[in-house]
Amino acid sequence: MIDLIIDTDPGIDDAVAIALALGIADVNVIGVTTVGGNSGLEHTTRNALRLLEFLGRSDIPVASGYDQPYGRDKQETGYEPVHGHDGFAGVDLPEPAATVVSTDSSAFLAEKIRGAQNPVTLIAIGPLTNIAHLVDAYPDVIPLIHRFVIMGGAARTGNVTPVAEFNIWHDPEAAKRVFASGLQTVMVGLDVTHSVRTREPLWEWLNSKGRFGEVFNGLIGPYTDFYSSFYGERMTHQHDAMAMAEAIWPGLMTSEAAFIDVETIGELTDGMTVVDLNMRKGQLPNGFVTWTIDGDDFHDRLMGAMNQLATNLGY
Ligand code: BDR
Ligand code: CA
Protein backbone atom coordinates (compact mmCIF):
# COMPACT_ATOMS: atom_id res chain seq x y z
CA MET A 1 0.00 0.00 0.00
CA ILE A 2 1.27 3.49 -0.80
CA ASP A 3 -0.07 6.80 0.40
CA LEU A 4 -0.27 8.99 -2.68
CA ILE A 5 -0.48 12.77 -2.90
CA ILE A 6 -1.29 14.27 -6.30
CA ASP A 7 -0.27 17.81 -7.23
CA THR A 8 -2.12 18.61 -10.42
CA ASP A 9 -3.50 21.18 -12.91
CA PRO A 10 -6.53 19.36 -14.36
CA GLY A 11 -6.26 19.27 -17.36
CA ILE A 12 -7.54 16.40 -19.46
CA ASP A 13 -4.60 14.02 -19.14
CA ASP A 14 -4.49 14.91 -15.43
CA ALA A 15 -8.09 13.64 -15.16
CA VAL A 16 -7.09 10.35 -16.76
CA ALA A 17 -4.12 10.07 -14.40
CA ILE A 18 -6.35 10.66 -11.36
CA ALA A 19 -8.83 8.03 -12.59
CA LEU A 20 -5.95 5.57 -13.00
CA ALA A 21 -4.86 6.10 -9.39
CA LEU A 22 -8.41 5.76 -8.08
CA GLY A 23 -8.88 2.47 -9.91
CA ILE A 24 -6.03 0.71 -8.12
CA ALA A 25 -7.01 -0.87 -4.81
CA ASP A 26 -3.67 -0.63 -3.02
CA VAL A 27 -3.19 3.05 -3.75
CA ASN A 28 -4.46 5.27 -0.97
CA VAL A 29 -4.89 8.83 -2.27
CA ILE A 30 -4.51 10.98 0.84
CA GLY A 31 -4.70 14.41 -0.75
CA VAL A 32 -4.78 16.50 -3.89
CA THR A 33 -3.29 19.94 -4.40
CA THR A 34 -4.05 22.18 -7.35
CA VAL A 35 -1.84 24.56 -9.29
CA GLY A 36 -2.24 26.95 -12.20
CA GLY A 37 -1.01 25.52 -15.49
CA ASN A 38 -3.24 24.03 -18.12
CA SER A 39 -5.76 26.60 -16.98
CA GLY A 40 -5.93 29.18 -14.21
CA LEU A 41 -6.04 27.99 -10.59
CA GLU A 42 -9.73 28.78 -10.29
CA HIS A 43 -10.48 26.32 -13.10
CA THR A 44 -7.98 23.62 -12.10
CA THR A 45 -9.30 23.63 -8.53
CA ARG A 46 -12.93 23.47 -9.64
CA ASN A 47 -12.03 20.65 -12.01
CA ALA A 48 -10.26 18.63 -9.31
CA LEU A 49 -13.25 19.00 -6.98
CA ARG A 50 -15.91 18.13 -9.53
CA LEU A 51 -13.91 15.22 -10.94
CA LEU A 52 -13.39 13.68 -7.49
CA GLU A 53 -17.04 14.16 -6.70
CA PHE A 54 -18.09 12.52 -9.98
CA LEU A 55 -15.74 9.63 -9.21
CA GLY A 56 -17.33 9.17 -5.78
CA ARG A 57 -14.26 10.39 -3.91
CA SER A 58 -15.20 13.72 -2.41
CA ASP A 59 -13.70 12.27 0.78
CA ILE A 60 -10.24 13.04 -0.65
CA PRO A 61 -9.23 16.47 0.65
CA VAL A 62 -8.26 19.09 -1.94
CA ALA A 63 -6.13 22.13 -1.18
CA SER A 64 -5.44 24.86 -3.67
CA GLY A 65 -1.98 26.27 -4.20
CA TYR A 66 -0.47 28.84 -6.48
CA ASP A 67 -1.74 30.44 -9.65
CA GLN A 68 1.28 32.66 -10.25
CA PRO A 69 4.62 31.04 -11.12
CA TYR A 70 7.33 30.97 -8.44
CA GLY A 71 9.86 33.27 -10.03
CA ARG A 72 8.33 35.27 -12.85
CA ASP A 73 5.12 36.68 -14.23
CA LYS A 74 2.67 34.26 -15.74
CA GLN A 75 3.39 33.58 -19.40
CA GLU A 76 0.63 33.39 -21.98
CA THR A 77 0.35 29.64 -22.36
CA GLY A 78 -1.70 29.61 -25.55
CA TYR A 79 -2.71 26.09 -24.51
CA GLU A 80 -6.46 26.53 -24.68
CA PRO A 81 -6.57 24.38 -27.85
CA VAL A 82 -5.34 21.40 -25.80
CA HIS A 83 -7.49 21.54 -22.66
CA GLY A 84 -10.22 24.04 -23.57
CA HIS A 85 -11.21 27.36 -21.97
CA ASP A 86 -11.90 25.73 -18.57
CA GLY A 87 -9.17 23.06 -18.59
CA PHE A 88 -11.77 20.32 -19.13
CA ALA A 89 -12.85 21.06 -22.71
CA GLY A 90 -16.21 22.32 -21.46
CA VAL A 91 -17.28 18.81 -20.36
CA ASP A 92 -20.62 18.68 -18.59
CA LEU A 93 -19.74 17.95 -14.94
CA PRO A 94 -21.89 19.45 -12.17
CA GLU A 95 -20.55 22.15 -9.89
CA PRO A 96 -18.83 20.59 -6.87
CA ALA A 97 -20.58 20.53 -3.52
CA ALA A 98 -17.25 20.20 -1.70
CA THR A 99 -14.83 23.07 -1.30
CA VAL A 100 -11.09 23.16 -0.70
CA VAL A 101 -9.97 22.30 2.83
CA SER A 102 -7.16 24.84 2.59
CA THR A 103 -5.71 27.48 0.28
CA ASP A 104 -2.24 26.94 1.73
CA SER A 105 -0.93 24.02 -0.30
CA SER A 106 2.44 24.01 1.49
CA ALA A 107 0.94 23.61 4.97
CA PHE A 108 -1.52 21.02 3.68
CA LEU A 109 1.20 18.98 1.95
CA ALA A 110 3.46 19.12 5.01
CA GLU A 111 0.63 17.95 7.25
CA LYS A 112 -0.30 15.09 4.91
CA ILE A 113 3.30 13.97 4.49
CA ARG A 114 3.96 14.03 8.25
CA GLY A 115 0.72 12.21 9.06
CA ALA A 116 0.94 9.44 6.46
CA GLN A 117 0.54 5.86 7.65
CA ASN A 118 2.34 4.30 4.66
CA PRO A 119 5.36 5.32 2.55
CA VAL A 120 4.43 8.55 0.79
CA THR A 121 4.67 8.99 -2.96
CA LEU A 122 4.24 12.58 -4.09
CA ILE A 123 3.45 12.99 -7.77
CA ALA A 124 3.43 16.35 -9.52
CA ILE A 125 1.71 16.39 -12.91
CA GLY A 126 1.56 20.15 -13.37
CA PRO A 127 4.04 23.01 -13.08
CA LEU A 128 6.25 22.64 -9.98
CA THR A 129 5.14 25.90 -8.34
CA ASN A 130 3.48 24.31 -5.29
CA ILE A 131 6.40 21.94 -4.70
CA ALA A 132 8.95 24.78 -4.85
CA HIS A 133 6.98 26.64 -2.18
CA LEU A 134 6.71 23.44 -0.12
CA VAL A 135 10.48 22.87 -0.04
CA ASP A 136 11.02 26.53 0.87
CA ALA A 137 8.49 26.51 3.69
CA TYR A 138 8.90 22.99 5.08
CA PRO A 139 12.34 21.58 4.16
CA ASP A 140 12.00 19.12 7.07
CA VAL A 141 9.42 17.08 5.15
CA ILE A 142 11.77 16.38 2.22
CA PRO A 143 13.31 13.26 3.84
CA LEU A 144 9.82 11.98 4.70
CA ILE A 145 8.85 11.69 1.03
CA HIS A 146 9.52 8.13 -0.01
CA ARG A 147 9.24 8.78 -3.75
CA PHE A 148 8.81 11.92 -5.82
CA VAL A 149 7.69 11.52 -9.42
CA ILE A 150 7.01 14.30 -11.88
CA MET A 151 5.59 14.57 -15.35
CA GLY A 152 7.82 17.20 -16.86
CA GLY A 153 10.86 18.03 -18.89
CA ALA A 154 12.80 15.89 -21.29
CA ALA A 155 16.41 15.11 -22.04
CA ARG A 156 16.08 15.42 -25.77
CA THR A 157 13.02 17.35 -26.88
CA GLY A 158 10.27 19.84 -26.04
CA ASN A 159 6.62 20.50 -26.76
CA VAL A 160 6.26 24.25 -26.16
CA THR A 161 9.62 25.12 -27.69
CA PRO A 162 12.07 22.76 -29.40
CA VAL A 163 13.68 22.07 -26.00
CA ALA A 164 11.12 22.97 -23.28
CA GLU A 165 8.24 20.84 -22.00
CA PHE A 166 5.09 22.63 -20.81
CA ASN A 167 5.17 21.93 -17.04
CA ILE A 168 8.78 23.09 -16.74
CA TRP A 169 8.44 25.93 -19.26
CA HIS A 170 5.43 27.34 -17.36
CA ASP A 171 7.51 27.86 -14.19
CA PRO A 172 11.22 27.19 -14.79
CA GLU A 173 12.42 28.79 -11.54
CA ALA A 174 10.14 26.48 -9.54
CA ALA A 175 11.54 23.44 -11.30
CA LYS A 176 15.09 24.66 -10.75
CA ARG A 177 14.35 25.14 -7.05
CA VAL A 178 12.87 21.65 -6.73
CA PHE A 179 15.79 19.95 -8.51
CA ALA A 180 18.16 21.73 -6.10
CA SER A 181 16.13 20.85 -3.00
CA GLY A 182 17.51 17.44 -2.14
CA LEU A 183 14.33 15.68 -3.29
CA GLN A 184 15.34 12.80 -5.55
CA THR A 185 13.13 13.26 -8.58
CA VAL A 186 11.92 10.58 -10.96
CA MET A 187 11.47 12.60 -14.12
CA VAL A 188 8.90 11.19 -16.51
CA GLY A 189 9.47 13.46 -19.47
CA LEU A 190 8.63 13.65 -23.12
CA ASP A 191 11.40 11.16 -23.99
CA VAL A 192 9.14 8.44 -22.67
CA THR A 193 5.65 9.97 -22.97
CA HIS A 194 6.11 10.72 -26.67
CA SER A 195 7.12 7.11 -27.26
CA VAL A 196 3.56 5.84 -26.66
CA ARG A 197 0.54 6.62 -28.82
CA THR A 198 -2.79 5.97 -27.16
CA ARG A 199 -4.92 5.38 -30.23
CA GLU A 200 -8.63 6.14 -30.23
CA PRO A 201 -9.92 2.53 -30.52
CA LEU A 202 -8.38 1.77 -27.12
CA TRP A 203 -11.14 3.92 -25.59
CA GLU A 204 -14.05 2.14 -27.25
CA TRP A 205 -14.96 0.34 -24.03
CA LEU A 206 -16.07 3.72 -22.64
CA ASN A 207 -19.12 3.59 -24.92
CA SER A 208 -20.70 0.89 -22.77
CA LYS A 209 -20.06 2.72 -19.49
CA GLY A 210 -22.99 5.14 -19.36
CA ARG A 211 -22.30 8.51 -17.80
CA PHE A 212 -18.72 7.53 -16.89
CA GLY A 213 -18.09 6.93 -20.58
CA GLU A 214 -19.82 10.17 -21.57
CA VAL A 215 -17.62 12.23 -19.27
CA PHE A 216 -14.33 10.63 -20.29
CA ASN A 217 -15.29 10.61 -23.98
CA GLY A 218 -16.13 14.30 -23.53
CA LEU A 219 -12.63 14.91 -22.20
CA ILE A 220 -10.63 12.63 -24.45
CA GLY A 221 -12.41 13.52 -27.71
CA PRO A 222 -11.23 17.15 -27.91
CA TYR A 223 -7.76 16.14 -26.64
CA THR A 224 -7.61 13.62 -29.49
CA ASP A 225 -8.71 16.31 -31.96
CA PHE A 226 -5.75 18.40 -30.86
CA TYR A 227 -3.21 15.60 -31.28
CA SER A 228 -4.63 14.43 -34.58
CA SER A 229 -4.09 17.90 -36.02
CA PHE A 230 -0.36 17.31 -35.41
CA TYR A 231 0.06 13.63 -36.06
CA GLY A 232 -2.58 12.96 -38.69
CA GLU A 233 -4.05 10.05 -36.73
CA ARG A 234 -6.59 9.78 -33.90
CA MET A 235 -4.30 9.37 -30.89
CA THR A 236 -3.11 11.15 -27.76
CA HIS A 237 -0.08 11.19 -25.52
CA GLN A 238 -1.23 10.36 -21.99
CA HIS A 239 1.67 12.20 -20.33
CA ASP A 240 0.23 12.39 -16.83
CA ALA A 241 -1.17 8.87 -16.71
CA MET A 242 2.22 7.55 -17.75
CA ALA A 243 3.87 9.39 -14.86
CA MET A 244 1.11 8.07 -12.60
CA ALA A 245 1.85 4.52 -13.75
CA GLU A 246 5.52 4.92 -12.82
CA ALA A 247 4.46 6.36 -9.45
CA ILE A 248 2.19 3.39 -8.75
CA TRP A 249 4.45 0.68 -10.19
CA PRO A 250 8.06 1.79 -9.57
CA GLY A 251 10.36 0.56 -12.28
CA LEU A 252 7.69 0.20 -14.96
CA MET A 253 9.95 2.45 -16.99
CA THR A 254 13.63 2.05 -17.64
CA SER A 255 15.55 4.90 -16.10
CA GLU A 256 19.01 6.25 -15.51
CA ALA A 257 20.48 8.31 -12.68
CA ALA A 258 21.21 11.89 -13.69
CA PHE A 259 21.86 15.39 -12.47
CA ILE A 260 18.95 17.49 -13.68
CA ASP A 261 18.85 21.26 -13.80
CA VAL A 262 16.77 23.85 -15.61
CA GLU A 263 17.77 26.67 -17.95
CA THR A 264 16.12 29.91 -16.83
CA ILE A 265 17.94 32.60 -18.82
CA GLY A 266 18.62 31.17 -22.27
CA GLU A 267 17.24 33.06 -25.24
CA LEU A 268 16.47 29.83 -27.09
CA THR A 269 16.54 27.40 -24.20
CA ASP A 270 14.39 28.97 -21.46
CA GLY A 271 12.62 26.19 -19.54
CA MET A 272 14.81 23.40 -20.90
CA THR A 273 15.72 20.58 -18.54
CA VAL A 274 19.46 19.95 -18.77
CA VAL A 275 20.07 16.28 -18.04
CA ASP A 276 23.64 15.41 -17.18
CA LEU A 277 24.09 11.64 -17.35
CA ASN A 278 27.84 11.82 -16.83
CA MET A 279 28.01 14.24 -13.88
CA ARG A 280 30.28 16.54 -15.88
CA LYS A 281 30.54 19.00 -13.02
CA GLY A 282 31.17 16.36 -10.37
CA GLN A 283 27.69 16.59 -8.86
CA LEU A 284 25.85 13.69 -7.31
CA PRO A 285 22.72 12.57 -9.18
CA ASN A 286 19.56 14.37 -8.00
CA GLY A 287 17.17 12.02 -9.72
CA PHE A 288 16.41 9.65 -12.52
CA VAL A 289 15.44 10.31 -16.10
CA THR A 290 13.04 7.73 -17.55
CA TRP A 291 13.56 6.41 -21.05
CA THR A 292 11.27 3.58 -22.11
CA ILE A 293 8.07 1.74 -21.24
CA ASP A 294 6.18 -1.19 -22.73
CA GLY A 295 3.27 0.72 -24.32
CA ASP A 296 0.92 -2.28 -24.51
CA ASP A 297 1.49 -3.08 -20.87
CA PHE A 298 0.86 0.56 -19.93
CA HIS A 299 -2.39 0.56 -21.89
CA ASP A 300 -3.53 -2.67 -20.24
CA ARG A 301 -2.89 -1.19 -16.80
CA LEU A 302 -4.51 2.16 -17.60
CA MET A 303 -7.63 0.79 -19.25
CA GLY A 304 -7.90 -1.97 -16.63
CA ALA A 305 -7.79 0.50 -13.75
CA MET A 306 -10.27 2.90 -15.32
CA ASN A 307 -12.60 0.04 -16.20
CA GLN A 308 -12.38 -1.17 -12.60
CA LEU A 309 -13.19 2.32 -11.33
CA ALA A 310 -16.24 2.51 -13.62
CA THR A 311 -17.38 -0.90 -12.38
CA ASN A 312 -16.89 0.13 -8.74
CA LEU A 313 -19.11 3.11 -9.45
CA GLY A 314 -21.81 0.84 -10.81
CA TYR A 315 -21.41 1.58 -14.53
C1 BDR B 1 2.08 18.22 -19.65
O2 BDR B 1 1.55 19.52 -19.94
C3 BDR B 1 0.16 19.52 -19.74
O4 BDR B 1 -0.51 20.08 -20.83
C5 BDR B 1 -0.27 18.10 -19.49
O6 BDR B 1 -1.32 18.05 -18.54
C7 BDR B 1 0.98 17.42 -19.00
O8 BDR B 1 1.08 17.50 -17.59
C9 BDR B 1 2.64 17.64 -20.93
O10 BDR B 1 3.66 18.44 -21.43
CA1 CA C 1 -0.87 18.14 -16.15
CATH classification at residue 44:
3.90.245.10
Give the structural domain span for 251: 2-313
Please work out whether the CB of residue 240 comes within 6 Å of at least one atom of ligand 1.
yes
Atom number in ligand 1 closest to CA 11: 6
Please work out whether the CB of residue 44 comes within 6 Å of at least one atom of ligand 1.
no
Measure 213 CA to ligand 2 centroid, in angstroms. 21
pTM of the model: 0.98
pLDDT tens track, the chain, 315 positions: 999 999 999 999 999 999 999 999 999 999 999 999 999 999 999 999 999 999 999 999 999 999 999 999 887 766 777 888 899 999 999 999 999 999 999 999 999 999 999 999 999 999 999 999 999 999 999 999 999 999 999 999 999 999 999 999 999 999 999 999 999 999 999 999 999 999 999 999 999 999 999 999 999 999 999 999 989 999 999 999 999 999 999 999 999 999 999 999 999 999 999 999 999 888 999 999 999 999 999 999 999 999 999 999 999
Q: Whose CA is nearest to atom 2 of ligand 1?
A: 166
The structural domain count of the chain equals 1
Please work out whether the CB of residue 38 comes within 6 Å of at least one atom of ligand 1.
yes
Query: Contacts from 198-202 at CB under 8 Å and sequence distance 24+?
Result: 198/235, 198/236, 198/237, 198/238, 198/299, 198/302, 199/233, 199/234, 199/235, 200/224, 200/234, 200/235, 202/299, 202/303
Residues 11-40: b if buried by 16+ CB within 10 A, e if exposed: bbbbbbbbbbbbbbeebbbbbbbbbbbbbb
Of the residues 8, 13, 219, which should be mutated to test ligand 1's pocket, given the most ligand atoms within 8 Å of the CB? 13
Please work out whether the CB of residue 151 comes within 6 Å of at least one atom of ligand 1.
yes
Please work out whether the CB of residue 270 comes within 6 Å of at least one atom of ligand 1.
no
Atom number in ligand 1 closest to CA 9: 6
Q: Just list the catalytic residues.
A: 239
Atom number in ligand 1 closest to CA 14: 6
